[in-house]
Amino acid sequence: MDGTSPNKLKVAYLGPMASYSHQAALACFDNEEYLLEAQSQIKDAFAAVQAANGSDFAVVPFENSTYGTVVFTLDQFVDQESKYPDLLVCGELYLPVHHCLVGHASKRRSANLSQEHVWDDDNQMQANCNPKRSSTLMKGLQHVSMIYSHPAAFGQCEQFLSLYLKGVRKQEVSSTSRAAEMVAEEGPGSRSAAISSSLAADIHGLQLLAESIQDQDDNSTRFFVLKNGKSNPRGLAPSPRQPSNTNGDKWKTLVSFTLPQQPSGTLAEVLQIFKNHGLNLTSINSRPSLEHTWHYVFLIEVQGRRDEADGGAMNQALKELDTKTKGWKWLGSWRDRSPT
Amino acid sequence: MDGTSPNKLKVAYLGPMASYSHQAALACFDNEEYLLEAQSQIKDAFAAVQAANGSDFAVVPFENSTYGTVVFTLDQFVDQESKYPDLLVCGELYLPVHHCLVGHASKRRSANLSQEHVWDDDNQMQANCNPKRSSTLMKGLQHVSMIYSHPAAFGQCEQFLSLYLKGVRKQEVSSTSRAAEMVAEEGPGSRSAAISSSLAADIHGLQLLAESIQDQDDNSTRFFVLKNGKSNPRGLAPSPRQPSNTNGDKWKTLVSFTLPQQPSGTLAEVLQIFKNHGLNLTSINSRPSLEHTWHYVFLIEVQGRRDEADGGAMNQALKELDTKTKGWKWLGSWRDRSPT
């Protein structure tokens, strides 16, 4: 952060420093031009963008390819208490997520190596327990008696953990980078390890005990970039600085809606509205609305763009939602960055 | 459990004893007629029903009205490794969930009561911080310095915790009943408390520090009853012993499906199939399929029944899924017990 540059645009991200959200923010927002500010919770990142004189943008995780949707982020979009009336998605970013086991290497080689798991500090071992994944063990793990990480990271590394660290105690903490920080705080004699990024290991002075330990080699997380639609109605997230092949000439739109209490098939009818206008549905999620028991808010993503300047297909489809929903909210349109 | 009655049908439930799943199991399956067996994880309950000579039924949580779907249960239905080919839902149960704060009462009245939170052991205080909820404080909470519970229970009691126990450390554990057990193990001098059912407090000899602390008064959890469709193709869960007004003459069906990689609007088309047959969609969830990155399995519930004996609307609709999906699986039909 740079307190000497008050004119920089501010970008909130889910911290602490070295989190995957931080890496996603750095991929879009140049540290030289933007002031990146860590937030301790997803809801704080939403609140920072809503606040007058708050952040100009925020970067939050939306879904992981192995673990699924981030429920905390969905619930901020549901926004049951209307805390974020002006918040809109204005960009997305797909970040490959390669988890590492990080910690303090054991001082001595254990005499207790099983034949199956032979390793050597000089000759890294490929542990191919799944055709979709190849982990690399860098150090012995026999001394590890406790693992810290975020619940989602535990969920993404189940095969590695059951193969190499079966029965070792797990402690869930608020983020993978906080997990690395805790191991660093325990000092060199600690028998704890963390599942985190290699960046977090670098920052906290930890060693890589194993690399690429996620169940799926192509594990990745999709992040949304948020803005305040009232103070910055036409703003879009900058393009990622290292773009891969993407659908960037296409657009996506996020919409939430609720149905009347007697649905009579209206979810199918709402989705059919978009289809009738040639707009493809790319994701659907539901969360409790808390208006009534067993009543839901649906969040859908549809290919296409709402543009006030024209009367295009999306604008027409959204107008028709009035007839089939109890209520609906446009939550932003942005360039599709999904890998092709 | 009763080892003297080997002929009793066996019912697996997500334990430990006194869990909400145990209460749900007891509501359907009489302890005199059935042998109820605790399982330590949701996947163990699924495996028990799949196994030859395993359990005849299992009771697992599917969704909570405040906190949403139970992802661990969804992922067992997705069944990426085809571990449960014969598993079918054969019943459902809606259980009101009233959480309590349970622990050891403080030995002395604290002198540090704020005016806002005055309480008296003889005159219970109603804490109305939300029109949908009224908690009852039974004891002082000033001594509580640590709270154990399941993550879902923390999520269902956020308002109570932020009002009365702001800043108190929280430790996530595998179930609410395990949380109560841990507090009991710490003994009478412990400053820990658990969020659990009052039944768990009874069983573990703990006191109720506060009752009905969930954010929503009508908080409830929906459980599924599972069976093995191969060994018990026509079996249905017994009716709950204290039935409320329900839609019990109607049926529901659970189906999972995946879409081709180039969806071209086919999710809307799949849902339209059911609508065309007059079958109402009541829930939709999606999870990563893990076949390809950003490819999903959809799980839908539809009103209606698959019945091999007739060619009814559901049977016809399911046949049409072949034309629009990459693959699909019928996961059971059961009597609708949703509250009317």
Most confidently predicted of A122-131, A172-181, A264-273: A172-181
pLDDT given at position A235: 86
Whether the pLDDT of residue B34 is over 80: the answer is yes
**Cα B59 to Cα B91: distance, rounded to the nearest angstrom:** 9
- The percent of residues in chain B predicted with pLDDT above 90, rounded, is 67
Chain B residue numbers with beta carbons less than 8 Å from the beta carbon of A218 are 293
Identical fold at B100-211 and B251-332?
no
Say whether A165 sits in a helix, a strand or coil. coil
**Model confidence band, residue B123 (pLDDT cutoffs 50, 70, 90):** very low
Provide the sign of the torsion angle of the four alpha carbons A134, A138, A144, A149, taken in this order: negative
- In the DSSP assignment, the letter for residue A78 is H
Q: Does B281 touch chain A if contact means CB atoms closer than 8 Å?
A: yes
Q: Which homologous superfamily is A248-340 in?
A: ACT domain (3.30.70.260)
Segment B186-191 mean pLDDT = 94
Nearest CB to B265 within list A66, A172, A275: A275
Segment B199-222 mean pLDDT = 93
Instruction: Identify the bridge partners of residue A244 per DSSP, sorted by sequence position.
Output: none
**Model confidence band, residue A240 (pLDDT cutoffs 50, 70, 90):** confident
- Residue closest to A5 by CA, chosen among A40, A31, A29: A31
Per-residue HEC secondary structure of chain B comes to CCCCCCCCEEEEEECCCCCHHHHHHHHHCCCCCEEEEEECCHHHHHHHHHCCCCCCEEEEEEEECCCEECHHHHHHHHCCCCCCCCEEEEEEEEEECCCEEEECCCCCCCCCCCHHHCCCCCCCEEEEEECCEEEEECCCCCCCCEEEECHHHHHHCHHHHHHHCCCCEEEECCCHHHHHHHHHHHCCCCCEEEEECHHHHHHCCCEEEEECCCCCCCCEEEEEEEEECCCCCCCCCCCCCCCCCECCCCEEEEEEEECCCCCCCHHHHHHHHHHHCCCCEEEEEEEECCCCCCCEEEEEEEECCCCCCCCCHHHHHHHHHHHHCCEEEEEEEEECCCEC
- The CATH code of domain A8-96+215-231 reads 3.40.190.10
- The CATH code of domain A100-112+120-211 reads 3.40.190.10
Contact A49, A87 (CB under 8 A): yes
Most confidently predicted of A263-267, B93-97, B235-239: B93-97
pLDDT given at position A311: 75
User: Which of residues B49 and A282 earns the better pLDDT score?
Assistant: B49
pLDDT given at position B109: 47
Q: Does A129 touch chain B if contact means CB atoms closer than 8 Å?
A: no
CA distance A9 to chain B (A): 32
Whether the pLDDT of residue B329 is over 60: the answer is yes
Segment A183-190 mean pLDDT = 94
pLDDT digits (tens, 9 = 90+) for B253-301: 999 999 997 655 589 899 999 999 999 998 999 999 988 899 999 999 9
Provide the sign of the torsion angle of the four alpha carbons B137, B128, B339, B306, taken in this order: negative
**Cα B145 to Cα B143: distance, rounded to the nearest angstrom:** 6
pLDDT digits (tens, 9 = 90+) for A51-67: 999 999 999 999 999 89
**Cα A253 to Cα A89: distance, rounded to the nearest angstrom:** 8
Say whether A168 sits in a helix, a strand or coil. coil
Contact A68 B287 (CB under 8 A): yes
Question: Of the ranges A43-47, A319-323, B68-72, B305-309, which one carries the lowest mean pLDDT score?
Answer: B305-309
- Residue closest to B283 by CA, chosen among A263, A280, A73: A263
Mean model confidence pLDDT for chain B: 86
**Cα A145 to Cα A123: distance, rounded to the nearest angstrom:** 24
Chain A residue numbers with beta carbons less than 8 Å from the beta carbon of B296 are 283
**Model confidence band, residue A136 (pLDDT cutoffs 50, 70, 90):** confident
Q: Which homologous superfamily is B251-332 in?
A: ACT domain (3.30.70.260)
CA distance B132 to chain A (A): 10
Contact B280 A264 (CB under 8 A): yes
User: Which of residues B120 and B192 earns the better pLDDT score?
Assistant: B192
Chain A residue numbers with beta carbons less than 8 Å from the beta carbon of B273 are none
Whether the pLDDT of residue B116 is over 50: the answer is no
Whether the pLDDT of residue B130 is over 80: the answer is no
Q: Which helix (H) or strand (E) holds A223?
A: strand A220-228
pLDDT given at position B245: 61
Chain A residue numbers with beta carbons less than 8 Å from the beta carbon of B265 are 275, 280-281
Q: Does A280 touch chain B if contact means CB atoms closer than 8 Å?
A: yes
Segment A220-244 mean pLDDT = 87
**Model confidence band, residue A2 (pLDDT cutoffs 50, 70, 90):** very low
Q: Does the domain made of B100-211 have the CATH classification 3.20.20.70?
A: no
Segment A302-322 mean pLDDT = 88
Q: Which residues contact A287 (CB under 8 A, 6 or more apart)?
A: A71, A74, A75, A78, A296, A297, A299, B68
Contact B216 A71 (CB under 8 A): no
pLDDT digits (tens, 9 = 90+) for B36-89: 999 988 999 999 999 999 999 999 999 999 999 999 999 999 998 899 999 999
Q: Which residues contact A242 (CB under 8 A, 6 or more apart)?
A: A27
Say whether A154 sits in a helix, a strand or coil. helix
**Model confidence band, residue A263 (pLDDT cutoffs 50, 70, 90):** low
The interface predicted TM-score of the complex, written ipTM, equals: 0.85
User: How far is the CA of B25 from the CAs of A14, A22, B141, B224, in angstroms?
Assistant: 40, 45, 32, 10
CA distance B154 to chain A (A): 13
- The percent of residues in chain B predicted with pLDDT above 70, rounded, is 86
Q: Please tell me whether the peptide bond between A16 and the residue prior to it is cis, using omega within 30 degrees of 0.
A: yes
**Model confidence band, residue A333 (pLDDT cutoffs 50, 70, 90):** very high
Contact A272 B268 (CB under 8 A): yes
Mean model confidence pLDDT for chain A: 86
Contact A267 B284 (CB under 8 A): yes
User: How far is the CA of A332 from the CAs of A25, A102, A212, in angstroms?
Assistant: 19, 38, 34
CA distance A80 to chain B (A): 12
**Model confidence band, residue A115 (pLDDT cutoffs 50, 70, 90):** very low
Contact B184, B204 (CB under 8 A): yes
**Cα A310 to Cα A199: distance, rounded to the nearest angstrom:** 45
Question: Of the ranges A16-20, A64-68, B128-132, B251-255, which one carries the lowest mean pLDDT score?
Answer: B128-132
**Model confidence band, residue B125 (pLDDT cutoffs 50, 70, 90):** very low
Q: Does the domain made of B9-96+219-230 have the CATH classification 3.50.50.60?
A: no
Whether the pLDDT of residue A205 is over 60: the answer is yes
Count of CB pairs separated by less than 8 Å, A with B? 87
**Model confidence band, residue A307 (pLDDT cutoffs 50, 70, 90):** confident
Question: Of the ranges A280-289, B74-83, B101-110, B313-322, which one carries the lowest mean pLDDT score?
Answer: B101-110
Segment B117-134 mean pLDDT = 39
Whether the pLDDT of residue A167 is over 70: the answer is yes
Chain B residue numbers with beta carbons less than 8 Å from the beta carbon of A298 are 284
**Model confidence band, residue A126 (pLDDT cutoffs 50, 70, 90):** very low
Classify residue A195 as exposed, middle or buried by CB count within 10 Å of its CB (0-12, 13-18, 19+): buried
Nearest CB to B68 within list A263, A287, A339: A287
The pair of structure tokens assigned to B212 is 């009905």
pLDDT given at position A113: 35
pLDDT digits (tens, 9 = 90+) for B152-180: 899 899 999 999 999 999 988 878 999 99
**Model confidence band, residue A111 (pLDDT cutoffs 50, 70, 90):** very low
CA distance B304 to chain A (A): 13
- The percent of residues in chain A predicted with pLDDT above 70, rounded, is 86
CA distance A247 to chain B (A): 14
**Model confidence band, residue A273 (pLDDT cutoffs 50, 70, 90):** very high
Q: Would you kindly state where each structural domain of chain B is located, as residue ranges?
A: 9-96+219-230, 100-211, 251-332
Whether the pLDDT of residue A103 is over 90: the answer is yes
Whether the pLDDT of residue B113 is over 50: the answer is no
